[in-house]
């Protein structure tokens, strides 16, 4: 089985406890939700054999994430990187990644994390599926059965669990519940260091400069603002009657 | 034209079935949709896909919002949500009637469907918006990112429709103003061939989550627990408090990882993002990953015995003390009320 895992390098916002986030100087990590996609690919390969290709779109530093995935056990990686791709919105991003997947050729399964912790749009995976004309199942918490023809999976939605049968090739987005990602092995780390990671730019994809990056984007960000998280808390140092009354009245005061 | 996607609710407990079969976000979207349509001098339409739809109920329900048109596709193959036929149907009616704006709720359904539709139409989509407006004739969409630390305001200037999904309870619109019912709501029915409704996915069964009486996504009050609860058994007191205040139970990540409560209750970066009216955090220290999922709640109440717990920084009201004393006090007070 040939499995493609899409990962994204994201700023490690969890490290930034105080105040605003300095996006330029913050450490990058693999999007935490993508770790579950990598792990699930490794588990499927354990059963069926095959190949896992990890792809990521981003700056050259995104090679680090691909190397980490290889150190966990992925077979190889491709970085999709070109200054023409800068400032792509979700549509241009999905178009670029879909073009790279077309270049990879035949595959059985694409796995992605549910969403990235920075943009939080959850938009790119279904759009990749659409542009490749394959089915998509989002928020998968368990793969019950998978073979060369179809998969039976459970997806988590607001009110419960849906069991879905989907024909391959398909794209699945996974949630944290699906597994527990393994740590890299020493052998894996050494292998990752030695693995060449090819960089695919615009010239290698069957796309024009107008279809990618900011030019290929349908949306534009016109302004951003920082949200002040701190609140003027009314803090009590014990459970006084007044504090209990206050909480009760807030809960009671339905909108 | 401004279009709203009329998603049906699957939350059986939360609605009088006959009167309002829609997800609660739909009425918020219709109110906002009317406002946007008026600003642009356009009509307001709702798109409904399903099977065996009784239009008399719908007209009654939606007439309060000043809807001009209902676009209806009634087909047995659309009775349950399925992303491929839903995408085919909606893109075809969009291409036929060319709405200017198309908005849905940011539910798990629309978060799957709308990206796919936008990609097929090669148009822009802004998901999870918390505010919508009109500037220079364009839809201006504001959404949070980076765990609620940043908001971005986005436009889609050249492609149509301008598409957005909006979080439930995010639009701080005034109580839905009752519009004078339109003398005539135009109903436009569209039908599709079997081939157009083909799908490569099939829902085999649906298992309702019985551990939640009220969904986290729609709850007015959420009572959440963290490591301060110490055990699976202790979540019972939170369940008791939630039951008595009419809320839902949530958790930070560690109790889920310890198997004390199921993943569907997890709030935060790798779980759900919620914004209830009241969020009561009990024994949660307030790691950034948790705050990312709840910091935009309207009122945040913190109960924690560690005065240095970072979660106090985002508290509206905090009690520094033992949750096993304070939560029972709240329950008692509520019973006595």
How many contacts (CB atoms, under 8 Å) link A and B? Answer: 270
Residue A248 lies in a domain: no
In CATH, what number is assigned to the domain containing residue A87?
3.40.50.620
Contact A158, B107 (CB under 8 A): yes
Banded pLDDT at B65 (limits 50, 70, 90): confident
User: What local confidence, expressed as pLDDT, does residue B170 receive?
Assistant: 85
Mean pLDDT within B16-33 = 79
Smallest Cα–Cα separation from A43: which of A157, A182, A172?
A: A182
User: What local confidence, expressed as pLDDT, does residue B174 receive?
Assistant: 55
Contact B163, B126 (CB under 8 A): yes
Contact A41, B320 (CB under 8 A): no
Residues of B in contact with A89 (CB under 8 A): 124
Residue A236 lies in a domain: no
User: What local confidence, expressed as pLDDT, does residue A24 receive?
Assistant: 59
Smallest Cα–Cα separation from B25: which of B2, B54, B4, B50?
A: B4
- Output b/e per residue, B18-49; b: 16+ Cβ within 10 A: eebbbbbbbbbbbbbbbbbbeebebbbbbbbb
Contact B94, B207 (CB under 8 A): no
Banded pLDDT at A21 (limits 50, 70, 90): low
Q: How far apart are the first and last CA of chain B?
A: 49
Distance from CA of B155 to the nearest CA of A (A): 5
Contact A184, A167 (CB under 8 A): no
Q: Which of the residue ranges A118-127, A222-231, B181-190 has the most confident prediction, judged by mean pLDDT?
A: A118-127
Q: Which residue of A has its CA nearest to B203?
A: A164
Smallest Cα–Cα separation from A131: which of A85, A168, A97, A82?
A: A97
- Mean pLDDT, chain B, rounded, equals 90
User: What local confidence, expressed as pLDDT, does residue A215 receive?
Assistant: 96
Long-range contacts of residues A189-198, Cβ cutoff 8 Å, at least 24 apart: A189/A71, A191/A70, A191/A71, A192/A67, A192/A68, A192/A70, A192/A71, A193/A67, A195/A67, A195/A70, A195/A76, A195/A77, A197/A63, A197/A66, A197/A67, A197/A76, A197/A77, A197/A78, A197/A79, A198/A78, A198/A79
The answer to whether residue A184 scores a pLDDT higher than 90 is yes
The answer to whether residue B132 scores a pLDDT higher than 90 is yes
Residue A246 lies in a domain: no
Beta strand segments in B201-298, E = 201-208, 221-225, 248-251, 278-282
B285 backbone dihedrals φ, ψ, rounded to 5°: -75, -35
Best mutation target among A24, A159, A225, A238 (most B Cβ atoms within 10 Å) is A159
User: What local confidence, expressed as pLDDT, does residue B17 receive?
Assistant: 45
- Give the span between the Cα atoms of B270 and B218, in whole angstroms: 19
Enumerate residues 142 to 181 of chain A having a beta carbon within 8 A of any beta carbon in chain B: 152, 156-167, 170, 175-177
User: What local confidence, expressed as pLDDT, does residue B175 receive?
Assistant: 56
User: What local confidence, expressed as pLDDT, does residue A137 receive?
Assistant: 98
Q: Do B270 and A225 touch (CB under 8 A)?
A: no
Q: Which residue of A has its CA nearest to B211?
A: A160
User: What local confidence, expressed as pLDDT, does residue B16 receive?
Assistant: 43
**Tokens encoding B68:** 């001009």
Mean pLDDT within A23-27 = 68
Domain total in chain A: 1
Residue A62 lies in a domain: yes
Residue A216 lies in a domain: yes
Strands B150-155 and B2-5 turn out to be unpaired
User: What local confidence, expressed as pLDDT, does residue B43 receive?
Assistant: 95
Mean pLDDT within A1-20 = 79
Residue A225 lies in a domain: no
User: What local confidence, expressed as pLDDT, does residue B15 receive?
Assistant: 42
What pLDDT digit, counting tens, does each position of B96-131 carry?
Answer: 999 999 999 999 999 999 999 999 999 999 999 999
Contact B162, B156 (CB under 8 A): yes
Q: Does A216 touch chain B (CB under 8 A)?
A: no
User: What local confidence, expressed as pLDDT, does residue B184 receive?
Assistant: 78
Task: Give the up-direction half-sphere exposure of residue B271: CA atoms within 13 A in the CB hemisphere.
Answer: 26
Beta strand segments in A17-67, E = 28-30, 51-57
For each of the domains in chain B, give its residue range(s) and CATH number, in order of start.
2-197 (3.40.50.620), 221-336 (3.40.50.1220)
Taking the CA atoms of A99, A100, A101 and A106 in sequence, report the sign of the dihedral they define.
positive
Residue A63 lies in a domain: yes
B241 backbone dihedrals φ, ψ, rounded to 5°: -65, -45
**Rg, chain A, Cα only:** 21
User: What local confidence, expressed as pLDDT, does residue A124 receive?
Assistant: 98
Enumerate residues 40 to 79 of chain A having a beta carbon within 8 A of any beta carbon in chain B: none
Smallest Cα–Cα separation from B155: which of B128, B170, B130, B134?
A: B134
Distance from CA of A145 to the nearest CA of B (A): 13
Least confident of A164-168, B63-67, B329-333: B63-67
What single-letter DSSP state applies at residue B46?
E
What is the domain extent for residue A13? 2-220
Distance from CA of A142 to the nearest CA of B (A): 12
Residue A244 lies in a domain: no
The partner residue sitting opposite A231, judged by closest CB among B83, B147, B315, is B315
Residues of A in contact with B175 (CB under 8 A): none
Least confident of A123-132, A133-142, B43-52: B43-52
What pLDDT digit, counting tens, does each position of B176-188 carry?
Answer: 555 555 567 899 9
Which single residue is written with the structure tokens 């998901």? B127
User: What local confidence, expressed as pLDDT, does residue A229 receive?
Assistant: 77
- Give the span between the Cα atoms of B169 and B276, in whole angstroms: 8
């Amino acid at each position: 089985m040939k499995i493609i895992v899409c990962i994204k390098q994201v700023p490690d916002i969890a490290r930034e406890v105080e105040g605003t986030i300095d996006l330029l100087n913050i450490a990058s990590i693999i999007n935490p939700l993508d770790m579950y996609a990598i792990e699930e690919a490794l588990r499927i390969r354990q059963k069926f054999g095959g190949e896992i290709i990890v792809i990521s779109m981003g700056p050259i530093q995104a090679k680090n994430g691909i190397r980490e995935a290889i150190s966990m056990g992925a077979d190889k990686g491709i970085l999709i990187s070109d200054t023409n791709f800068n400032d792509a919105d979700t549509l241009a991003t999905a178009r670029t990644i879909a073009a790279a997947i077309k270049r990879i050729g035949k595959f059985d399964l694409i796995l992605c994390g549910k969403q990235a912790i920075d943009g939080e749009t959850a938009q790119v995976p279904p759009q990749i599926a659409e542009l490749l004309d394959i089915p998509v199942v989002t928020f998968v918490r368990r793969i019950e059965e998978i073979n060369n023809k179809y998969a039976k999976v459970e997806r988590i939605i607001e009110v419960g669990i849906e069991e879905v049968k989907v024909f391959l090739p398909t794209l699945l987005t996974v949630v944290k519940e699906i597994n527990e990602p393994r740590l890299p092995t020493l052998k894996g780390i050494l292998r990752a260091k030695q693995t060449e990671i090819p960089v695919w730019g615009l010239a290698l994809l069957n796309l024009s400069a107008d279809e990618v990056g900011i030019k290929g984007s349908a949306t534009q960000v016109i302004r951003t603002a920082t949200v002040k998280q701190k609140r003027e808390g009314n803090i009590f140092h014990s459970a006084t009657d007044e504090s209990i009354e206050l909480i009760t009245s807030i809960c009671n005061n339905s909108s | 034209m401004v279009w709203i996607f009329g998603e049906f609710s699957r939350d059986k407990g939360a609605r009088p079935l006959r009167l309002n079969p829609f997800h609660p976000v739909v009425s918020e979207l219709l109110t906002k949709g009317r406002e946007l349509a008026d600003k642009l001098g356009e009509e307001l339409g709702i798109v409904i896909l399903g099977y065996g739809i009784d239009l008399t109920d719908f007209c009654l329900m939606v007439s309060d919002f000043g809807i001009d048109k209902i676009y209806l596709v009634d087909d047995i193959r659309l009775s349950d949500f399925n992303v491929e036929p839903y995408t085919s149907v909606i893109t075809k009616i969009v291409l036929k009637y060319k709405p200017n704006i198309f908005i849905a709720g940011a539910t798990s359904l629309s978060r799957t469907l709308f990206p796919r539709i936008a990609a097929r139409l090669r148009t822009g989509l802004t998901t999870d918006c918390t505010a919508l407006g009109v500037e220079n004739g364009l839809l201006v969409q504001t959404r949070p990112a980076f765990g609620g630390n940043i908001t971005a305001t986005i436009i889609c200037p050249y492609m149509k429709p301008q598409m957005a999904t909006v979080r439930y309870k995010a639009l701080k619109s005034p109580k839905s103003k009752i519009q004078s019912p339109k003398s005539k709501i135009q109903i436009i029915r569209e039908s599709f061939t079997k081939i157009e409704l083909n799908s490569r996915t099939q829902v085999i069964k649906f298992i309702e989550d019985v551990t939640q009486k009220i969904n986290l996504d729609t709850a007015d009050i959420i009572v959440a627990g963290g490591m301060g609860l110490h055990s699976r058994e202790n979540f019972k007191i939170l369940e008791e408090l939630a039951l008595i205040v009419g809320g839902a139970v949530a958790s930070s990540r560690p109790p889920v990882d310890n198997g004390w409560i199921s993943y569907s209750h997890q709030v935060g970066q790798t779980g759900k993002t919620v914004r209830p009216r009241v969020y009561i955090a009990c024994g949660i220290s307030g790691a950034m990953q948790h705050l990312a999922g709840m910091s935009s709640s309207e009122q945040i109440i913190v109960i924690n015995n560690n005065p240095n717990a970072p979660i106090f920084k985002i508290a509206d009201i905090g009690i520094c003390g033992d949750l096993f004393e304070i939560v029972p006090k709240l329950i008692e007070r509520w019973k006595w009320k």
